Structure 1
């Protein structure tokens, strides 16, 4: 453990395929509401620090690097009562670094869904195997209900001598992502010996984050912004929550050249629906994209696409043109 963290009693490491940033935000807000000065770090396209003073962007001179976690942990002030870190490592061999640097008192595990297929392998079981490498031995784990359904996860955590909990009385343990995140945050606070009832209002009042799933209206048209749903299971859950008809909806997939297998994973789900139109934007893929119309978009182009009463479901990746579009329309 880094020396400056030794005096901080609450050290929470958040891991998973999806939803890590949301859990960091919820826990940081909940801990502060309980009178515990807390610092959190979220990563992704826009890495940020969250503290009692508010939010600040972490400026990068180059792309994201695993060492950024250690650098940030070394900046946490002595007066912190809690630190909440999102494990941003992707490579399997780097998963354990965050736990080594912070020696967490609790791990919060959001889910294990097929993602980063180039590094992890194609399936959810591969995600479980990799993410387990980032959980230190003998550390309690607060996990989403879906992880308790995995015999492999239960067996491996037992082998590591990690206690595992995955339900919370009075919470909303559902697969709906907003209530599920809140329930998991309440469970984590309870496992830390805190009363989540006093923190719940602060957590529920958090405005959506930049790339959180939401409906964005543009001159009568609606964009269902699911760009941060990087796996087909998450995208399917969000799509199902809308109640929209596919034949009245334009499917927009934003592609990244460095994530070619992500598009391959999405294709069966995309092709299972009779969309009004299928659009492929971003870095153009060369294979497996029959049935799509390829479009070049920027933030203004996305706004124009949504106008005129259209319904658009956007998914795949938030990096690129969706990000400035969403930043301009950030809530809160």
Structure 2
């Protein structure tokens, strides 16, 4: 037999094996879809991990056996009893991971899977939705200017990218009030239905009292959106809400810590996960509104060289917010933030490039800048030293909120 004939036979055999493997994978995936009848796919710019957790907690409280998967700060697989397993990756994250999550949900005998979208490229968002997850309900938390290098060049581009995840023939629930003509066009094209859920227009809006029962700071929009999904799946509002209030928050959730570090008490607000300028600005103003006006205010900006567009956007945005007394810049690619902040009008003396290399050094630098009972807000990116700083501060003794209030009030007199 000629050599080229043998090579063709080998190639044909390999092709047949690959084809058989693909057929097998398709069959297993179809079985997973059949085994897990409720599949909720959560996408959006901000709040995906939180909303995923809220929906899952609400469904569990309603007696629906539910698993969930978050992709945010620390990827987690959430079991039907609320316990969590870390998701370990040998290399970079890719959407193929969603296939194994679906199979595991089926193995756990889940009636529902709530899964966070992990794709950025519009085409991959479509593949994840239409070919892998095949959700019965799609959720888009909001549409804001972030990842413009992939989904831009502006908010409309981001909207078009995120709407790639609208489930064909399914249901879309979103808290995004803008882009309604575009959303309606995509729904029509996909043969899907949808609704917009907002606290200000809801029949029974989430109240401040209900939000205060959470162990962290949760946004009314996120809770209202999650409640709407749970109600569509037959879980009463009160039952779902109690489940949400008792659930474990995401590691990147917005929290306020009253920290005592090396004898200094200050307030630290973890706003790192608010990646886009609009969300970050809301976190900054919320933090200032919850602290006394007489204390020092420090913005801690954690930069990443591979997120240069985010640093540039924040550099433009900070000039529009209530001013900080100091802008402490850490991480890589700091110049992207610094140059834009200076151009936007932030005083040069207010921008400080951190010399810290460890979370202990950064905590020391931060507490010195904030001064007694000041407030420091972490923004930009949670990865790297941001996550390490949060872990370090949570190990420290907690300051007293009543002590903070009384002393900061005295300091402002």
The residue aligned with 2:194 is 164
Determine helix, strand or coil for the equivalent of 1:36. coil
The residue aligned with 2:235 is 194
Question: When you count helix as a share of all residues, which structure comes out higher?
Answer: 2
Of the candidates 274, 285, 290, which is equivalent to residue 240 of structure 1?
A: 285
**1:52-88: CA deviations, max 9, x gaps?**
2411111122222222122222222251111111011
Of the candidates 129, 135, 145, which is equivalent to residue 160 of structure 2?
A: 129
Q: Is the 8 A contact 1:256 1:283 kept in 2?
A: yes
Of the candidates 341, 354, 359, which is equivalent to residue 299 of structure 1?
A: 359
Tell me whether 50-59 or 80-89 shows the greater mean CA deviation: 50-59
1:199-214 paired onto structure 2 within 5 Å: 199-214=240-255
Residue 224 (1) aligns with residue 269 (2): yes
Shift in Å, 1:235: 0.9
The residue aligned with 1:284 is 333
Q: Is the 8 A contact 1:115 1:127 kept in 2?
A: yes
1:118 and 1:6 map into 2 onto residues whose CA distance is 37
The residue aligned with 1:274 is 323
Q: Which runs of 5+ in 1 are unaligned?
A: none
2:182 and 2:133 map into 1 onto residues whose CA distance is 26
Residue 56 (1) aligns with residue 85 (2): yes
1:3-82 paired onto structure 2 within 5 Å: 3-53=31-81, 54-76=83-105, 77=107, 79-82=109-112
2:319 and 2:178 map into 1 onto residues whose CA distance is 31
Q: Is the 8 A contact 2:74 2:251 kept in 1?
A: no
Tell me whether 321-330 or 65-74 shows the greater mean CA deviation: 321-330
Determine helix, strand or coil for the equivalent of 1:204. helix
Q: Which runs of 5+ in 2 are unaligned?
A: 1-28, 209-216, 340-347, 396-413
Q: Is the 8 A contact 2:297 2:325 kept in 1?
A: yes
Shift in Å, 1:318: 0.3
TM-score, normalisation: structure 1? 0.91
Classify 1:234/1:173 alpha carbon distance in 2 versus 1 (closer, same or farther; 3 Å).
Answer: farther
2:286 and 2:151 map into 1 onto residues whose CA distance is 29
Tell me whether 125-134 or 91-100 shows the greater mean CA deviation: 91-100
Q: Is the 8 A contact 2:159 2:179 kept in 1?
A: no
Count of equivalent residues: 328
Shift in Å, 1:301: 2.5
2:170 and 2:156 map into 1 onto residues whose CA distance is 22
Residue 321 (1) aligns with residue 385 (2): yes
TM-score, normalisation: structure 2? 0.74
The residue aligned with 1:141 is 172
Determine helix, strand or coil for the equivalent of 2:329. strand
